[in-house]
Amino acid sequence: MAGAAVALALTGTPTLAADIPPADTVVTSPNVTHVLNIPKPAPIASTINTDIAFQGDYAYVGNYGGFSIYDIRHPKKAKVVSSVVCPGAQMDVSVYGNLLFAAVDGSRNNDSCASTGQSAGIKESWEGVRIFDVSDKANPRYVKSVETNCGSHTLTLVPGKGRDRDRNVYVYVSSYQPSANFPDCLPPHDKISIIKVPLRHPEAAAVAATPVLFPDGGNETQPGLLLPTSGCHDITTFAEKDIAAGACMGDGVLFDISDRLNPRVTARTTDANFAFWHSATFSNDAREVIFTDELGGGGAATCNEVVGPNRGADAIYDISRGRFTFKSYFKIPRHQDDSENCVSHNGSLIPVKGRDIMVQAWYMGGVSIWDFTDAAHPTEIGYFERGPRADGGGGGVWSAYYYNGYIYAADFNTGLDVIKINDWRTNNAERVHTDRLNAQTQESYRSR
């Protein structure tokens, strides 16, 4: 069960240093309850948790050492069903039907689950996407690997259109950091890889296209960039609207994906305040998009008073007539200790009728629940976090998503947290249920 949590009031003003929680202590806002913590399973306890996907009564949690499947039909009694040991950074996961897709962005000496790390400078090294059959939750089966240029830092599933929807799913593979010393990852790499997966024959999955997104090279010279644009870090699709948003290191991008194998850039924006365009989330009506800035690459303390309220924050944009219009920044108002790595990271919408509300991970800043209905004045309405680690180390929450009444958070070190918010602004979301959630593959919800 979850340990005792301390509830602290939301004041609307930044936390003072004296208000930073004691080491390793769970604290929440009064409207948030820590329901349960499930430590990482023993086979992958020594490696960090990453992204989460959901389908039916199950959560799939990626980990640098592989992935685990959790039974969440009773969230207060959620439990591990199985773990697959299959190392490879980052092992971000998505699910579709009986298939699980895992991203590998670290060169291995082969594509097997027994592989070891090997330099990308060796031509025979492998990195890309692994595909598993998870129809038997207790015994997932490795089906296929697909090698992609520069590996797969993240991946995004895109269902086919019309009759193709039941036949194929497409995987948009985001990767970056090419080098003249890497035979399979040569500059300029201003592209993504697209894998076509026949649903009835996933063993036939293969790269079907490698569209160039930035023929002009993208944003490469802006002062303060963590990395210049070279491909994308993450892409979020809204397939029913035939659009996608790309967080592409130096650029924020809008795509037309009506032709699944030929995504077309329709709008681009840059921001002198952003260091690394990391991920994107659409509002439910797709009239707005939130981009995250992973200032410091996720390893720096950027939620302290020195850095301030706008660096390492989210940026909210209106999308009108196919163009981006900046509205505001959002950053958690709770200052973190100088030992705590903290910056905006992975999150999803809470399906609330008439409001725009998001739950989001902030590494050691924990989990933030915030309202951007007024896009010019976003406000945090709830939170969950732990105090600094007693050993002074880093970590925190990699991803936090709302799924069928509960929030699930994957923590680097402590495992999977189950969280509940009880608030008049979010409670009607409990009437909305879905059978699948891949945060990078948005689907609209219909509130009752």
Contact yes or no for 102/91 (Cβ under 8 A) = yes
Write out pLDDT tens, residues 325-378.
999 999 999 999 999 999 999 999 999 999 999 999 999 999 999 999 999 999
Residue whose entry in the numeric block shows the structure tokens 């892409």: 235
Sheet of 66-71, strand order? 79-85, 66-71, 58-63, 49-55, 436-437
DSSP codes, 85-117: E---SEEEEEEETTEEEEEEEEEESSSSTT--B
Angle at 153 between CA 75 and CA 292, to 5 degrees: 70
Q: Mean pLDDT throughout 256-267?
A: 98
For 248, residues 6+ apart whose C-beta sits below 8 A from its C-beta are: 213, 214, 218, 229, 231, 232, 233, 277
Q: What is the rounded CA–CA span in Å between residue 115 and residue 109?
A: 6
Q: Are 156 and 235 in contact (CB under 8 A)?
A: yes
Choices 3.40.50.620, 2.130.10.10, 3.30.479.10, 3.30.460.20: CATH for 6-441? 2.130.10.10
Closest C-alpha to 367, from 352, 345, 395:
345
Confidence of residue 3 (pLDDT cuts 50, 70, 90): very low
All residues at 6 or more sequence positions from 245 whose CB lies less than 8 Å from its CB, including other chains: 235, 236, 238, 252, 253, 254, 255, 280, 281, 282, 289, 291
283-295 residue pLDDT tens:
999 999 999 999 9
Q: Two tokens at 243? A: 């659009």
pLDDT for 2: 47
SS3 category, 347: strand
Cα separation of 105 and 233, whole Å? 11
> pTM to 2 decimals?
0.96
